[in-house]
Chains A and B, each alone.
Chain A
Amino acid sequence: MDKLDLLVVVDPYPSATAAMAAMPGKPEDLNPNRAVYLLPAATQFETSGSCTASNRSLQWREKVIDPLWESRSDHMIMYQLAQKLGFDKELCKNYKMQKVKGLDEPVPEDILREINKCVWTIGYTGQSPERLKAHMKNMHVFDVKTLKAKGGKDKETGYDFTGDYFGLPWPCYGTPEMKHPGTSNLYDTSKHVMDGGGNFRANFGVEREGKNLLAEDGSHSLGADITTGYPELDHILLKKLGWWDELTDDEKKAAEGKNWKTDSSGGMIRVFMKNHGCHPFGNAKARAVVWNFPDPIPQHREPLYGTRPDLMAKYPTHDDKKAFWRLPTLYKTVQDKNIADKVHEKFPLILTSGRLVEYEGGGEETRSNPWLAELQQEAYVEIHPKTAADRGIRNGDRVWLLGATGARLNVQALVTERVDTGTVWMPFHFSGRWQGADMLAYYPKGAAPVVRGEAVNTATTYGYDSVTMMQETKTTVCNIEKA
């Protein structure tokens, strides 16, 4: 971090990143031209906007208070950065501005409307701010088990909720006027597409190696006019089916030469779904063999850092990739080196990490909350009684966790049978202590979290998923010794 030219932290809390940037390292590493900026961002209560949950439904959050002190909302920060770089007019050309504490801020409703206008593929188009706000004001009309509204009208706008699923879970296809109810369960052929039903998408071509990839006769969503497989919707398909003239003149102008993903009127989607009950992304077979992945069917491959070189020989990892998302990414080289260096002898325990109830994510926000901090005051490592006994460690002792990265973490030991003899577990929510030392002095005054602890990712090692490039934080090796 000392070598960087520029570091910008945008967060309601300064975070361990800011503290680490302030913490002095080796003097020869420090870049004299380094600039570090901490921009206080507003929390979700200081601005309004839509919020998507992991069940795919959206909610509209209302602003509760104006941003405190000097904090600004994320979209205001982006707008002001664009202004400094000179392209704010292009970035915000579809947004009206509102004044927040005297400064211009893009209106959050307009930002959602811009998304509604173009994200056709995953169905982020039907959830207009108006529909979402009506849902939020009338939660009582939605059934508690199915989340579907059987009826009801919003008092202020007269919006009719009938058929809507709460939060209009994406994909919610078409324009808001088309009033798609959202999709509660994906690919559900027992429902009509205008009731949230669907079939499997035709994303992988029409045929492969002589086999038909589209759905067979009789496999379709409820009430679909086409009762067999069909490819993705485009203007050619619509014309062939003879449904082109169901478009209005304006829609025809926008849809000519386009497919359902590039038709800015949403007319093709409207005709296909509402008039004929068919799904715009096509009707194809689901596939169990993913031919474009490195492993078409999941194979077991030992991790780069493991405690079983014999299994690494039997289930080796992937070959190195010269350019993976434009970066050279190593697999086999690292694993082979670890076998050669006998890493498993120096670090005979598998280290994995996981969640605690009291904290969330990196823990900056939740460890700053006094009520939650009181419930989990120490970073700790779970060790099996045998592993602990072998090292003379008792429950509550302080221990050094030695990572294969060279890191040394000073944490408390929790001796339990929750982990087996070869594994240890650490929560990943902690930060603010570095190799045994408290970083309190390096946080901006008064802005340190209540509870600080060692960050487990100081000890996690190199490794990336072969498709998504997700980092390997769930398995590595370590050793533990009494402090």
Chain B
Amino acid sequence: MARMKFICDAERCIECNGCVTACKNEHEVPWGVNRRRVVTLNDGVPGEKSISVACMHCSDAPCMAVCPVNCFYKTEEGVVLHDKDVCIGCGYCSYACPFGAPQFPSQGTFGVRGKMDKCTFCAGGPEENGSQAEFDKYGRNRLAEGKLPACAEMCSTKALLAGDGDVVSDIFRQRVVQRGKGAEVWGWGTAYGSAAKQGA
């Protein structure tokens, strides 16, 4: 079983923020904490591209490497999780992360910056799987229910894919082979059938 991974297909992302809303709703994430966000380049200009970003669950996680209290751990599926009871809210993981995944709530035990919160790949945390304590601290544990992360399952265009790295890259490869790249991705032929099959 390969590691759990996200892939966001920038050709399909339409910046609907469905993934963001799904994550917020599923885990009741408070205002100001953005586990997932959609980044748009060239907004309003032809050639605009969007991509959905959250914790990438790195194989060699910088957050894990720099944490002074070692609150991070990695599950067998490669999901990077952390223990909020150990976290001191220093913010070092936030410096280290190239994606800006660690988030800090506006109010918290430490006043200005509370415990770190981030995308859990919908795998909860160290608390008992599916318990209320786990939900309060980390959100819902969908993997333990046999489901995939809410953001990818909710994606309106299937731009965001999540799951076993092998499975996800297989799906993506199939998609790219089918649709081509560059100018071939969009157009009448792609939407209504290839030019060869086009009748009238």
Among B15, B20, B43, which residue has the most Cβ atoms of chain A within 10 A? B20
CA distance A306 to B104 in the complex (A): 50
CB within 8 Å of B: which of A346-380? 357-358, 370-372, 374-375
Q: Are A375 and B17 in contact (CB under 8 A)?
A: yes
Q: A374-B31, A417-B44, A418-B44 are in contact. Are A357 and B16 (CB under 8 A)?
A: yes
Q: Using C-beta atoms within 8 Å of the partner chain, give the interface range for chain A.
A: 10 to 19
Task: Please name all residues of chain B whose beta carbon is closer than 8 Å to the beta carbon of A357 when the two chains form the complex.
Answer: 15-17
Q: Using Cβ atoms and an 8 Å threshold, which residues of chain A touch B31?
A: 370, 374
A372 and B21 in contact, given A357-B15, A357-B16 (Cβ under 8 angstroms): yes
Give chain A nearest CB distance to B191 CB in angstroms.
12
Number of interface residues of B (CB under 8 A): 11
How far apart are the CA atoms of A372 and B25 in the complex, in Å? 10
Q: Which residues of A contact B140 (CB under 8 A)?
A: none
Report the Cα distance A374→B16, complex, angstroms. 14
What are the interface flags for A365-409 relative to B under an 8 Å C-beta threshold, 1 for contact and 0 otherwise? Answer: 000001110110000000000000000000000000000000000
Q: How far, in angstroms, from A375 to B15 measured CA to CA in the complex?
A: 11
Q: Are A416 and B15 in contact (CB under 8 A)?
A: no
Q: How far is the CB of B45 from chain A (nearest CB, A)?
A: 7
User: Which of chain A's residues 416-443 have a Cβ closer than 8 Å to chain B?
Assistant: 416-418
Least CB separation from B14: chain A residue = A357
Closest chain-B Cβ to A387's Cβ sits at a distance in Å of 15
Interface residues of B in 1-56 (CB under 8 A from A): 15-17, 20-21, 24-25, 31, 43-45
Q: State whether B16 touches A371 (Cβ < 8 A).
A: no
Please, which residue of chain A has its CB at the minimum distance from the CB of B44? Answer: A418
Is B17 a contact of A358 with CB atoms below 8 Å?
yes
CA distance A273 to B24 in the complex (A): 51
Q: Which residue of B lies closest to A416 (CB)?
A: B44
How near does chain A come to B101, taking the closest CB pair, in angstroms?
18
A-B contact list, 21 entries, CB within 8 Å: A357-B15, A357-B16, A357-B17, A358-B17, A370-B24, A370-B31, A371-B20, A371-B21, A371-B24, A371-B25, A372-B21, A374-B24, A374-B31, A375-B17, A375-B20, A375-B21, A416-B43, A416-B44, A417-B44, A417-B45, A418-B44
Ranked 4 nearest A-B pairs via Cβ: A371-B24, A418-B44, A371-B21, A416-B44
Name A residues whose Cβ lies closer than 8 Å to a Cβ of B: 357-358, 370-372, 374-375, 416-418
Given contacts A357-B17, A358-B17, 5 further A-B contacts (CB under 8 A): A374-B24, A375-B20, A416-B43, A416-B44, A417-B44
